[in-house]
């Protein structure tokens, strides 16, 4: 087993949403609590902070090369040429919360969830290609990692506190999801499932917050691999690189490494020769 290696270390409180930009061939990620966004260039092994402001809970790559930021209060904005342009200034029902994780669907729509806060439960929204927003699901706790099966007929969604990864029927023509089933339930006492992705064999990869590991599951939900990390909180992962065999994983806890573990809050890389899938590109008409 290859050991994950640190490639960038900003002592992030909660490094999240690692996003591979296929046109730039660079990795982006967010430190959500501190409102910072960073990028890493594997060709030069250089990295830098590119944004500071309101928290960015999710990042999507648009087909024109810009980035879509999903933020506090249900705000969605485009980041291009160091300029942030609002798309949706806020969702009135989400003024006390924020977006958390997102995924672009095969048609270029973007799904993103908002977190629960107090009595206000989380929701899953869909940003449609015409720029409108649809509330898809209610009564979630912390909607998290998402993915699609290789045949594009099913959609995965993680609800972290419930320790469950759901699978839905998915209609690519409408973006509708239905028939929720539980695909994976993680063991109690081993952390909670966080960010996820699906590789080129249809296997599910799930980061484990407070679980010290990345996990790989077969399409029928059986654990086939676990990769240990020094930090407790492995928050998310993505595949990237020329052939999508590079795995980039974010971690949290950089503000308290004595308890959270060596390298907490850093971004890690490893390559196991397992190929991932390129993420779809957003096609939002704004």
Enumerate the known binding-site residues for a divalent metal cation: 16, 144, 194
Angular region, 263: left φ>0, alpha ψ -120 to 50, beta rest: left
Of 280, 205, 261, the residue nearest 238 (C-alpha): 205
**Do the beta carbons of residue 71 and residue 102 sit within 8 Å?**
no
| Binding site per annotation, positions for substrate | 98, 100
Is residue 169 among the annotated active site residues? no
Q: Write down the catalytic residue from 105, 194, 199, 246.
A: 194
Three-state SS string across the chain, please?
CCCCEEEEECCCCEEEEEEEECCCCEEEEEEHHHCEEEEEECCCCEEEEEEECCCEEEEEEECCCCEEEEEECCCEEEEECCEEEEEECCCHHHCCCEEEEEEECCCCCEEEEECCECCECEEEEEECCCCCEEEEEEEECCEEEEEECCCCCEEEEEEHHHCEEEEEEEECCCCEEEEEEEEEECCCCCCEEEEEEEECCCCEEEEEECCCEEEEECCCCCEEEEEECCCCEEEEEEEECCCCCEEEEEEECCCCHHHHCCCCCEEEEEECCCCECCCCCECCCC
Contact 59, 248 (CB under 8 A): no
The residues that are catalytic are 194
């Amino acid at each position: 087993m290859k050991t994950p290696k640190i490639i960038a270390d900003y002592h992030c409180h909660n490094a999240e949403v690692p996003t591979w930009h296929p046109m730039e061939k660079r990795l982006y990620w967010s430190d959500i609590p501190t409102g910072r966004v960073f990028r890493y260039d594997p060709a030069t092994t250089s990295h830098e902070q590119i944004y500071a402001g309101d928290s960015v809970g999710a990042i999507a790559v648009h087909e024109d090369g810009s980035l879509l930021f999903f933020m506090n209060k249900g705000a969605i904005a485009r980041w291009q040429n160091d300029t942030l342009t609002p798309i949706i200034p806020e969702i009135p029902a989400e003024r006390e919360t924020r977006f958390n994780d997102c995924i672009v669907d095969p048609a270029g729509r973007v799904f993103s969830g908002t977190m629960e806060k107090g009595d206000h439960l989380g929701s899953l929204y869909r940003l449609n290609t015409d720029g409108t927003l649809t509330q898809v699901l209610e009564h979630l706790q912390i909607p998290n990692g998402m993915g699609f099966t290789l045949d594009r007929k099913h959609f995965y969604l993680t609800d972290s506190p419930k320790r469950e990864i759901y699978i839905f029927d998915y209609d690519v023509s409408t973006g509708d999801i239905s028939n929720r089933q539980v695909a994976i339930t993680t063991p109690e006492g081993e952390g909670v499932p966080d960010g996820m992705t699906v590789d080129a064999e249809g296997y599910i990869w799930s980061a484990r917050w407070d679980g010290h590991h990345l996990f790989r599951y077969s399409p029928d939900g059986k654990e086939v691999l676990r990769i240990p990390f020094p930090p407790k909180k492995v928050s998310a992962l993505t595949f990237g690189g020329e052939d999508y065999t590079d795995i980039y994983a974010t971690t949290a806890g950089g503000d308290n490494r004595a308890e959270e573990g060596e390298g907490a809050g850093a971004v890690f890389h490893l390559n196991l020769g397992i190929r991932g899938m390129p993420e779809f590109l957003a096609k939002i008409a704004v």
